[in-house]
Amino acid sequence: MKKYLHVIGIGLQSNLAYRVNYLTRTLFSFIPLFAMLSLWRTIYAHPTGGASSSFSEAQMMFYYLLVAVVDVLTAVNEDDWQIAADIREGNISQFLLKPVDYLWYRLALFFSGRIAFIAVAALPLAVFIFCFRQYVMAPASLTALLVFPVSLVLTALLQFFISYAMAMLAFWLLEISTLIFILFAFEYLASGHLFPLDILPPVIRDVLFLTPFPYQMYFPISIYLGKSAGMEMWRGLAIQFLWVMAAYVFARWMWRRGIKKYSAFGG
């Protein structure tokens, strides 16, 4: 455990060297967020606005503010690209010779990146939320307040393990950027990042909940807002945990299969 804590420390120093890049990324991410908030305010201003959704106007506005918060806390930014580069350039050879588990090494770097990003993004995000403070809502219940951070941790792990498994394709393919972009685009739609899944037709929504994507964004937010409560919340949390375990097992399996194809070029 000490060696991975040391990796987190090194990762923090490395990531904080790019704090201006993090700040710029955060500020530019507010542009589409502001556009979505303006769009939904216009929709709800119409007499029939929001009629197909169980979200009130305040809930819809706050939903997107929570999307920004969850994104800062859990999103995988460049980890998959870096893992693919390590494989392609032969940098993983050292991990085959040392008592360091590559998955836990990358997970430690992922968390160090999140800590650094939060440190840089916290102030501008707080200012942005303050500008829309009339829409800020308290958790639906004490249970929601306690379970929400648990779901956030599972969300972060789920996103990381899926990205890690996707990056393992670099063992077989020279360039995986297209596949990463396709996965990101599908996650953006199916996770509830672009809009709450509640507004989709029930059949489509039910199909999406058979996949891990809603548990990467929509589910933790639905806990906070009280959209998932009681037994539905606990059942969803159990399913989210099972998806995390499945993604972890799949990531391990991809690594074992990939190592058999690894030729140790470069590095």
What's this model's pTM, rounded to 2 decimal places? 0.90
Q: What is the pLDDT of residues 134-159, one digit of tens each?
A: 999 999 899 999 999 999 999 999 99
Sign of CA dihedral 54, 60, 64, 70: negative
DSSP label at 165?
A: H
Q: What are 93-126's pLDDT values in tens digits? A: 888 888 888 999 999 999 998 888 888 888 888 9
Other residues' Cβ atoms within 10 Å of the Cβ of residue 87: 27
**DSSP code of residue 227:** S
Q: Answer yes or no: is pLDDT of 50 > 70.
A: no
Per the structure block, which two tokens stand in for 224?
């906070």
